[in-house]
Chains A and B, each alone.
Chain A
Amino acid sequence: MKILLTTKAGPRGQLRKTVTGEWLRVGRNAACEIHLPDPRVTLDHGMIVNRDGLVYLEGESGSQNITRKTVRSVRLKVGEPIEVGPYRIEAQAPPAGFDGALVIELAHPLPQATGFRSRDLTLASLGLTKRWAAWLLGLAVLVAFLVIPAGRVLDLPWRDTAQVAGTGDRFWNPGALILAHQPIQARCASCHEVAFEHVKDRACLECHSAIGHHVGAGMKPASLFEGARCATCHRDHKGVKATHRDDDKLCIDCHRDLPSRAKDARAANTSDFATSHPPFRLSLPTATGLKRVRQGDGPIVEMSNLTFPHSVHLDARGVRSPLQGRMKLECRSCHQPDASRRAFEPVSMRKHCQECHALQFEPAVTTREVPHGKPAEAVTVIEEFYANLALKGVPDSFQKAFGVPGEGLLRRVGEPSAADRQNALALAGRKAKQVSTELFEVRVCKTCHSIERAGDDWKVAPVRANNTWMPHARFDHKSHQQAKCANCHAVAQSKEASDVAMPTIKACRECHGGSRPAEGKVTSNCMQCHGFHDPAHAWDPNFKPRAGAKVAGAP
């Protein structure tokens, strides 16, 4: 069909156009043949069809398909206008060549106001603001957590506001310090001395002045550990327990191939206790100082200059004690834990031997003993004893000691003659010499010591009994007390003092595994037995020069 459309616009103006189609759509949609541009009209408001004359159909409000359910159907007759929303549509007599003619007029123009205040209708209109909130929150955080604390730390003009504001660099602390560092936790500058620079070793050594280096000066630690700082291994703010890692990575980084890192190093390569740890090295005292000997490189002989068979002392039937009769000795009879209970007190003649091995020189007459440790004094005591006996001895003692009847010179009646005196002195001197020789060379000293005669005197070979075999190992006897001594130290059959009864790595590996957990083994990393800082090597700090301004409060 073909329709002549007249749209009235304003009091006088009007627009004519011709539309054609099977049907004519009416609505706000610009695609509608009869376009009604008003917000009160829906997008597809209705349609006009030709059913023996024009009929206006309107669907349900909001329905997209108006042909599905028609709620209004009006036949358009000349002189009977209909209202579509605010518009009036009126049919007119069609001119020639047209199926119909329609006049469209906006009968109810939009009122000026709808009665509702548009400024109520959105969040923005309520005065809520994103921009001001953003500025406010951002600046608050910046001031509280950066500007004010930095003022004090960097000594800026507003340095005193931190005290007033109650905020400070404590909010910069990223995590708990180890317990030992917590007393200085509030003073960050104790360690962080220079702003925007790493913590210097100097700050650590302020307190840890006695810390040892890893290697001696001979190995040039400054170049060996170039670039390394205390903080390379020690990181604080990582919890209260430790500042360094407890696995082997840091150690085996170098020790798996030591010569490539330090060509002078004498330690063997290692990367794991269970698989690649070298045999232990023992420290042996020798005439020329301490010697380090590796187990397995040949027989190891202790040169203590003593004679001591463990087998006799640990005899299952016991030993004869002059005071207590037969008694059974145990390891702890002589090897007593020191105060730390990790190691043992050195064996001492006076405490552990002398009760049985008394140093009596004339037991028939006296229980007196010679002093231990100084041969010349022992000889003097013997000489004095027999001289005194020759002078004042009662007949019984005199005879027992000298083997001839008589009594002390001063006990005889009358003034002794010069010849008597000489005789008495000679008697005492001879006896003393004889007893001394017997004491040193046969009966007493010789039992344990290596004795050498030097003219009229005796020389006792210096005793070098070892007490610390593995000075670098952190071995703790206390934490092994559930084991029997003999599990590690097989001395029951040892007949010589030169026998060494230190356990080999094989014995340790029976219980200790490597750094990876293994069934039935104690997981053992490097740090379990070794330390990094060797107190024997003085720290040679290669201080970096201090640069820039110090943080306020830094030492």
Chain B
Amino acid sequence: MKHYSILEYARFRWFKVAIATCVLSAAVYLWHDVAPKPYGGSWLGYTLGSIGAALILWLLYYGVRKRRYRSTSGTVQGWLSAHVYLGAALVVIVTLHTGFELGWNVHTLAYVLMLVVVFSGMWGVFVYLRVPRAMTQNLGDETLEALLLRIADVDREMREKALSLPDRLFVLVDRSVSGGRLGGSLLRLVSGRDPACPTAAAVHAWPSIAKSLKGEASRLDKEVYGLLLQKHQLLERARRDLRHKAVLDLWLYFHVPLAFMLLAALVAHVVSVFIYW
């Protein structure tokens, strides 16, 4: 069965709805003649503002709907498709609502927050379209858990075998085994790198130290070095996977809190407008 992304859901139904809404709004905006210049308080302004506010509330409700696993009102896939396209249409509707009248005030604050939330959502869509493929390419059949188990296996084997190696090499192995870390900071998670990785340092330092080894030690050294390289590669794959997961998550840390900030600014905007009607 061909996989359909949320963007293609129901043959682009919500894309069409969004485009139609934008085109209709823009057409009415151009036809609408308001003095001295277009603004949110004309009848069209109130209409677009009401549509925009209702849309914002409905878009926020998506956070509730996606958790209601027993809900039968459409599929979550359909809701997400509508969420994405109608969220994008919101930019046009609300921009027309402003009448391009912006300033240092709570009204423009709400507008800017709306833009930031929508664009963070678009970033999320972009991430969801790209990253899963990269995740599959990185992990193949395996899981992060499997990678970690294999690293643990390699660690155990490497440690046992390195016992007979000279101290300078054993220290490298020991550091790699006991000092390894994954994630732990936002930067390390999102970048997928760890400049202080002891395994990478060991891989880098190993050949020059091991040059002088001979006989049995030399054979053992090659085995341990092979294990070290294997671990290094596993670690890189694990870090890449953590990075993918972090990137898949990160946009939501902007999208969701800013959406609630937008909700607050929207309430302040609407109430203040009607206090000073």
Contact = CB atoms under 8 A, between A and B. Distances in A.
Contact of B180 (A43, A44, A115): A115
Interface in B254-271: 256-261, 263-265, 267-268, 271
Given A133-B253, A138-B260, A138-B263, A114 B149 contact: yes
A62 B143 CA distance: 11
Interface string A229-265: 0000101011100111111011000000000000000
A40 B149 CA distance: 6
Contacts of A154: 275
Contact of A44 (B141, B245, B272): B141
Given A42-B142, A142-B267, A169 B276 contact: yes
B276 A121 contact: no
B51 interface: no
B105 A130 contact: no
Nearest to B103: A175
A239 B276 CA distance: 18
Nearest to A45: B141
B186 A111 contact: no
Contact of B185 (A117, A126, A141, A195): A126
28 contacts: A39-B145, A39-B149, A42-B140, A42-B141, A42-B142, A42-B146, A115-B148, A115-B151, A117-B184, A120-B181, A121-B144, A122-B183, A123-B249, A126-B184, A128-B186, A130-B256, A137-B260, A138-B257, A141-B261, A142-B267, A146-B272, A153-B276, A172-B275, A174-B105, A192-B277, A196-B275, A239-B36, A246-B36
Contact of A199 (B145, B260, B263, B277): B277
B189 interface: yes
Contact of B35 (A111, A123, A244): A244
The 7 closest A-B pairs by CB, nearest first: A245-B35, A62-B140, A133-B257, A134-B260, A43-B141, A146-B268, A137-B261
Main secondary structure of the interface of B (DSSP, over half): helix
B232 to A, nearest CB: 15
Given A116-B148, A121-B189, A138-B260, 20 more contacts: A28-B141, A42-B140, A42-B142, A43-B141, A62-B141, A110-B149, A114-B152, A115-B151, A116-B180, A126-B185, A133-B253, A134-B256, A134-B257, A137-B264, A145-B268, A149-B272, A169-B272, A172-B273, A172-B275, A174-B107
B253 A153 contact: no
Contact of A123 (B143, B144, B250, B275): B250
Interface residues of A, number: 74
B245 A122 contact: yes
Given A169-B272, A172-B105, A130 B35 contact: no
Contacts of B152: 111, 113-115
Contacts of A126: 183-186, 189
Contacts of B101: 174-175, 238
Nearest to B247: A123
Nearest to A128: B253
B274 interface: yes
B274 A146 contact: no
B8 interface: no
Contacts of A41: 146
A188 B277 CA distance: 11
B114 interface: no
Nearest to B104: A171
A130 B143 CA distance: 27
Interface of A: 27-28, 39-44, 61-62, 64, 86, 108, 110-111, 113-117, 120-126, 128, 130, 133-142, 145-146, 149-150, 153-154, 169-176, 188, 192, 195-199, 233, 235, 237-239, 242-247, 249-250, 551
B258 A173 contact: no
Contacts of A146: 106, 264, 267-268, 271-272
B180 A173 contact: no
Given A122-B245, A239-B36, A130 B106 contact: no
Nearest to B235: A116
Contacts of B183: 120-122, 125-126
Nearest to B106: A145
A146 B265 CA distance: 8
Contacts of A42: 140-142, 146
B53 interface: no
Contacts of A145: 106, 109, 264-265, 268, 272
B7 to A, nearest CB: 24
Given A169-B272, A197-B277, A114 B264 contact: no
B116 to A, nearest CB: 11
A150 B275 contact: yes
B223 interface: no
B35 A235 contact: yes
A155 to B, nearest CB: 12
B104 to A, nearest CB: 8
Contacts of B245: 121-122
A43 B182 CA distance: 24
A130 B182 contact: no
